[in-house]
Each structure stands twice: as structure tokens, then as C-alpha cells.
Structure 1
């Protein structure tokens, strides 16, 4: 197993060479064993951000009904796709403003880039298969069938959000803004704990378990049994830092320094969460196969605890 200091020694160097986030979601760039990339180079971003159609423009009739169903699933996933969700998160907890907000992996930025090759599973994925991964990792649940009503509705909502956008073009504002984004110093747990207490605990709680009203998340849990599992892209420090820098604190994105964003991402991701569903009984082997990156703390020791070795607790 790797110790925390050994992993952190590589993080800053890795950040320097990190490319921009694939404009679909953080999971797309999850760490894999080192290998020559077979992915085609991403096309140059557009000069201006794409503006998706307003909700009021959803058409009437059967098509509009399915678009609205997709939006409902996206914004309140535990209610509208309960059979496939293993925690209390909704898609819109990370893809903000019902999947509309630039720099938070908006749906309109992902739709036109699929099918695409993903290192995470070593093959070309359709958009539906990409969404299935969200259910498995971010929702800590199980994947709906590609022809299920839930998956059809989500893909239809994504299609409608991207109406008018060019196909095969990496749109500005898609994904999380990672290009050239690195901290002056390697991220630090103790500094991150201070950033969290000052900027995050008010909404997400001092214990990281978020806040609920009437059984529905107002602010999502960031670690523990109801958060995303160790297979989700947000468990990687660089993905979390890029999302935090652009979007957090909520409604006050881009107010934290790059250093603060990396520090608090490290603090958040240094907590236990549900097991990676690809875990085969050997923590070291699971890290080697799926987390062989300084951006992943899975299988490293933090404050005397070996992450991934015990059930997640608040």
C-alpha cells in the first residue's frame, strides 16, 4: 500500500501535465494503469459557451413528456429512479442547474461527444453506457438497461439540452476546467480541513454529511455511506479540485484560490466512502488496476487509516 506522503509527492508533478477534462464528466478521466492512449485528440473548444434552450421551450406532446421525465430523473434521481440508486445523490448535485451550468460537466457539453473511447473501461462507450457508469459509481447503485424508460428519458433530455450544438466539438464550458490548473504547493490535508471549516461546513456539515429537507438532499454528503463510491471520478483530487474551483462555494464559484481548491479537495477525498464496485477482495490489486494515480487516495494511508479498507461511516 502507498502511504500518504508518497502519493502526495507525485501530485503536483502530475497536475502540471494534466490535460483538460474530457467534456463529458469527471468519471471519463478516472485513473487507469499507465498505457499508451488510443483516444483521438480532443477538438479545439469553441470561442464562446453554448447556451442550452430554456426549460420553457420543452415542447408539448409525447416528446416533451419524455424530456420532462428525464429532467425529473436528473434533478431528483432517488425519487424517479429509485431502483438504480444506492445513495441519496441526484445527477444535479454535480451537474449543476439541472445539467445546464457551464464548467460543471453540463449535459449539453457531453451529448455531442459520444460515442467516444474511455480509458476507464478500455473501450468505446455510447452516451447511454456513460450514464450507466454514473449510476454504478456516483450513485453507488446499478445501471439501468439501455432501453429502460429511465435511460431513454435521460438521453432524450441530454439531446434536447444540446439542440443546436455542433456534434464532435468540445464546447467551451463543458466538463470541469482543468487546463493549466495546478496548485502552487502540493495539496495538504490540514490546510484543506481549515478551508472546509471556513467555506464548506455551513452547507455540507462539519461531518460532511450534507443537509436534507423532507428526505431530499439540499446539500449532498461529500463522504460516508450516502456519498459517491471509490469508483466515481469525483474521488480523484484533480477532478474534485477543478469542480470546486469553478463552482464552490455554491453560487460563489471561482472565489477560492487554486491552492485552497486543491487543499479542500484533498481533505474531502481523504475520507472513507463506499467501496469501488470493481473491488475483487484485494485492496492493493484494485488500486493497481483502477487507481494507479497520485490523484487517487484509494489504497493509501491517511491519518493512520488505509482508505478503502473499511465500510464508509459518517
Structure 2
């Protein structure tokens, strides 16, 4: 890492990225860390690495229908994936994350879709994603690390594997609540260290299963679930859908 004050900021950025609740507690509302969705401290290809994202911003995002800077993109992660609040642009935490991302991307071209950016998109599944099949994939491949009820695992009070649903997980506005996004991430990266070992159908099924459980409300919620679904959830997700006896998002 660099020396001097810039190096100090880069190191802080890595700490915020890998232990977000510890180093940015004011802005985190669950038990997740940035590294849970961007593996290997934001460096792993096909796991939405920071070095590949840096050169593609500013960019228009359909999610909020505006051009977003990299700072705004990270702020959105805190609002949705961390179920918290956006760090101000002049905050030490956001400056540190920006410094870390910049350092990781040094030498990379701008405006180019670098190989390994984001999560590799999957083709639509041959069979419609299924809850029961997904549950079996989860039991056989995921529960060991993430718990039988998706609650994650702790060691000496520290989270070592994240919650996949419930109060300690991402909210209904996070990108990972989309079944197609979760399936792409899972297929490329899960089980941890064994990315690509699940079939694409298994990835679709287990993504559907994981996102068929309750989680914190979408911060954009307005009036009721139906209205919120119509405004913000016209994509591949289970928000507002009846799974079992409950309509998701009504908790």
C-alpha cells in the first residue's frame, strides 16, 4: 500500500470495507460488511470488484433514474445493502472507501467494461426457480456456513458468515434481493472457494429460496406493499409475492 497520509486513508478504506460495522458503525443497520458481496476485500473478479467498477462511474442508473457518481453508488450500498444510512460525501468513511477503490483501480482504463466486472450474467433458467428445490440446495451447500435459518455464523461474538435473510441482512431495496442478481453472484462465487460448482439451475433455485424470506423493509416504502412493488420492484424478485401464508414485505 502507499506510504504517507494517502496510504493511511487507503488502509482505513480497506478496514471500512472488510469490517464495516466496526469502522463505520454510524451508517450500518445490520451485521453485514461490504466484503460479503465483494469478495477478497473487493478484489475478486466476478464478485463485483472495486477495481472494475471505478472506471465506469459516473453512470446512469435505472434504480434511481439519475446519473450517479462513485460516491453516490457507495452511499446507496449503505442505504440498501447495509440497511443503514448514506455517509456524507465529506465523511472520513466515504473518503476512505473512495481512496481504497481508487488505489485498487490504479492503472486500469476508464469507460471500459473490464473482464470480471460485476457478476457474470446467467441465462434464464430452463425451469422456473423453485422453492423446494432451492431449499434442498441450501441445506446441502449453504447451511453449514450460513445457518439452518439463514442467520449466519458468529465466532467469539464476531460475524464470520453473513445472515442471508432476517433483521441482520440486506433490505428489500438491495440489489441482492433480485433473484437474478443473487443467482449470478451465487453461481460465480458460492459455496465460498467453490464458485462454479453449482449448476446454473441450482443457483437460480437457491437464490429464489433465499429471497423468499422476510428481511428489512425497502427504505423507499410508500403507503403499502402493493404501491411500493409497483413503483420499485418491477423486476425478478419476490417482494409483494405470497410465499406460503405470507406476503413478503408486509412484516
Structure 1: stretches of 5+ with no match in the other structure: 1-57
State the match for 2:9 in structure 1. Answer: 66
Question: 2:152 and 2:48 mapped to 1: Cα distance?
Answer: 21
Shift of 1:60: 1.2
Number of the residue aligned with 1:245: 187
Measured in 2, the distance between the counterparts of 1:214 and 1:158 equals 30
Q: TM-score, normalised by structure 1?
A: 0.79
Runs of 4+ that moved beyond 4 A: none
Partner of 2:50: 107
User: Which of 266, 280, 284 pairs up with 2:226?
Assistant: 284
Question: Is the 1:182–1:258 Cα contact (8 Å) retained in structure 2?
Answer: no
- Tell me the equivalent position of 2:240: 299
Give me the whole-angstrom Cα distance separating, in 1, the residues matched to 2:227 and 2:97: 34
Deviation at 1:216, TM superposition (A): 2.2
Secondary structure of the residue aligned to 1:241 is: helix
RMSD: 0.7
Q: 1:195 aligns with which of 113, 125, 137?
A: 137
1:181 Cα shift? 2.5
Conservation of the 8 A alpha-carbon contact between 1:189 and 1:266: yes
Instruction: Determine the structure 2 residue equivalent to 1:125.
Output: 68
Give 1:109 deviation, angstroms: 1.0
Q: Which residue of 2 aligns with 1:170?
A: 113
Give the corresponding residue for 2:84. Answer: 141
| Cα offset, 1:243, TM superposition | 0.2
3-state secondary structure, aligned to 2:46? coil
Q: Give me the TM-score of the superposition, normalised by structure 2.
A: 0.99
Higher relative contact order (CA 8 A, sep 6+): 1
Q: Measure, in 1, the Cα distance between the counterparts of 2:150 and 2:140.
A: 13
Look up the match of 2:27.
84
> Do the aligned residues in 2 keep the contact of 1:227 with 1:273 (CA within 8 Å)?
yes
Q: Secondary structure at the match of 1:165?
A: coil
Please state how far the C-alpha of 1:282 moved relative to its aligned partner. 1.2
Q: Deviations over 1:99-144 (max 9, x none)?
A: 0001110001110000000001110000000000000000000000
SS at match of 2:54: helix
Shift of 1:296: 1.2
Structure 2, unmatched stretches of 5+, are none
1:182 Cα deviation (Å)?
2.7
> Is the partner of 1:164 in helix, strand or coil?
coil
**Deviation digits for residues 17-55 of structure 1, max 9, x if unmatched?**
xxxxxxxxxxxxxxxxxxxxxxxxxxxxxxxxxxxxxxx
